[in-house]
Each structure stands twice: as C-alpha cells, then as structure tokens.
Amino acid sequence: MKSENLPIETLIQQAFCQLERSYAPYSHFHVGASLLGADGRIFTGCNVENAAYGPSNCAERTAFFSAVSQGQREFTAICIVGGPGGTVEDYCPPCGVCRQVMAEFCDPDTFQIILAKSREDYCIFTLKELLPMSFGLL
Ligand code: THU
C-alpha cells in the first residue's frame, strides 16, 4: 500500500491512545504503537516493563505478537510514538530487536514505518531503509 492510501490519522491517534496504557515504571519512557494488518484491521501495543528488566517488551513487539496471536501475519504499516513520561517531543524510531521482528513478517520494500510527533508532524520510512540487509532464513 502506498503511503498516500494509508489511514495515517487513525494510526497516529491509536498509537497515542496506547501511550496511556504503557507500563514503564522503570524507564518512565512511554511508547505506543498501532499496526495495520493487510486486511485493514489495526492492532495496538504499548511497552510493558518488568522489575528484572530483561522480560520487558517494546510497544511494537506487543502489537506484532498480539496481531499474530489473533491470526494476522501480513502487515502494511506501523505507527510509533513515544517519549519520557508519555510526552512526545521527538520521533521514536524502533529498536533493533523490533526491526528484526518486523522483518519476520513484513516485506522490507513496502512495509511503512510511521514515526509521529503529532497528527501533523510525522515521517515515513520503509523497513528496508531502517534495516538494510536483514537476516532471514525463510
Ligand atoms: N521501547 C519501545 O517500546 N520501543 C522501542 O522501539 C524502543 C524502546 C521501550 C522499551 C522500554 O520500556 C523503554 O522504551 C525504554 O527503553
């Protein structure tokens, strides 16, 4: 799907909604994500931290794992927002682990990653731009 056909406003709004659900008592960095399935359904996620740190999960992976557990395996785009205390002042690019999870399910040339600061202020990258030469076995 070309970026001009994406429901960008809805994706940004849903990602911002997830900021309120973020569980980040250790880093206090709140992240929200909304993931657009190929069938048009939107799956959401927030970061969920843990006292042992290692078991923490990023917002993007929460959204992907929720979607896959509901039977969706093909995706068009993801929108990510985040910031300290849930205040979004900068773009929040996905971490390397989340980029690798995207590579498992998404076409690197077409999957769109929307980084938003507000409804009007966002930028879009393909997965290939953010994860060139990705590792894969399939
Ligand atoms: N975080 C995400 O949710 N997504 C990212 O791509 C980067 C980092 C979370 C993990 C942790 O809860 C907090 O942000 C600080 O690293």
Nearest CA to ligand 1 atom 1: 58
Q: What is the pTM of this model?
A: 0.97
Q: Tell me, yes or no, if 60 is annotated catalytic.
A: yes
Question: If we measure between CA atoms, which residue out of 132, 71, 70, 69 comes closest to residue 100?
Answer: 132
108-133 pLDDT, tens per residue?
999 999 999 999 999 999 999 999 99
User: Would the pLDDT of 98 be above 90?
Assistant: yes
pLDDT for residue 3 is more than 80:
no
26-127-42-27 Cα dihedral, nearest 10 degrees: 10
pLDDT for position 20? 97
Whole-number average pLDDT of the chain: 97
Question: Are 124 and 113 spatial neighbours (Cβ–Cβ below 8 Å)?
Answer: yes
For residues 133 and 36, give the distance between their C-alpha atoms in angstroms, rounded to a whole number.
Answer: 24
- Tens-place pLDDT, residues 25-65: 999 999 999 999 999 999 999 999 999 999 999 999 999 99
pLDDT exceeds cutoff 70 at 11: yes
Q: What is the CA(16)–ligand 1 centre distance, in A?
A: 15
106 with 122: CB under 8 angstroms?
no
pLDDT at residue number 42: 98
Measured by CA distance, the residue closest to atom 14 of ligand 1 is 29
**Ramachandran region, residue 81 (left: φ > 0; alpha: ψ -120 to 50; beta: rest):** beta
* Residue 27 pLDDT: 98
| pLDDT of 1 higher than 70 | no
Residue 2 has a pLDDT of 61
Reported in sequence order, the residue ranges of the chain that DSSP labels E, i.e. its strands, are: 29-37, 42-46, 75-84, 112-116, 122-126
Crossing angle of helices 59-69/96-105, nearest 10°? 20
**Separation of CA 58 and ligand 1 centre (Å):** 5
